[in-house]
Amino acid sequence: MPHSDSEETPSPTARLASLGLVLPAVSPPKGEYVPAVLSGHLVFVAGQVPMTGGELTTTGRLGDEVSIERGRELSRQCALAALAAVDSVAGLDRVTRVLKMTGYVSSAPGFLDQEKVVEGAGELFAEVFGAAGRPVRSVVGVADLPLGSPVEIETLFEIGR
């Protein structure tokens, strides 16, 4: 059966709404940088930590004070913040692909499940963009992150139109 315009894939904004999610306000930078930069067809998003009302949502290390499940939730929150940053410079509905995601996980000694934490962000991108939301990915365990954050997500998006 031929594809009709009435069967068009929902926009990223519509998918967010169907998930019951609202983009947060873009957190102001905590230094001399900007949250996102549009260059040609690329949007580079600075590392996002989980913020609520301009304050860090949770502090601690995975495998110590923070559980994997809580880390996944925080990673998802970082991804939503990244989408807000993209929206602020290019418009979310212009995203054609999530190209790259780097997840940094503040890890207690011996914690080896960093990828399980960052998967929260990856799942959100897939829910919003479908197959185009599956980026190449790196995951890095670190001793500490800025402000004591358990997780930080850095992303690169492709835009069109």
Cβ atoms < 10 Å from Cβ of 138: 12
* 50-159: CATH superfamily: RutC-like (3.30.1330.40)
pLDDT, tens digit, for every residue of 113-158?
999 999 999 999 999 999 999 999 999 999 999 999 999 999 999 9
Q: Are 153 and 82 in contact (CB under 8 A)?
A: yes
Summarised one tens digit per residue, pLDDT across range 51-82 is 998 899 999 999 999 999 999 999 999 999 99
Confidence class for position 8, pLDDT limits 50, 70, 90: confident
CB atoms within 10 A of CB 94: 19
In a 13 Å sphere around the CA of 15, the CA atoms on its Cβ side amount to 18
- In terms of Cα–Cα distance, which of 36, 50, 48, 47 is closest to 159? 36
Domain ranges in the chain? 50-159
CA dihedral 16, 34, 37, 61 (to 10 degrees): -60
Tokens linked to 106: 């503040």
Contact 90, 161 (CB under 8 A): no
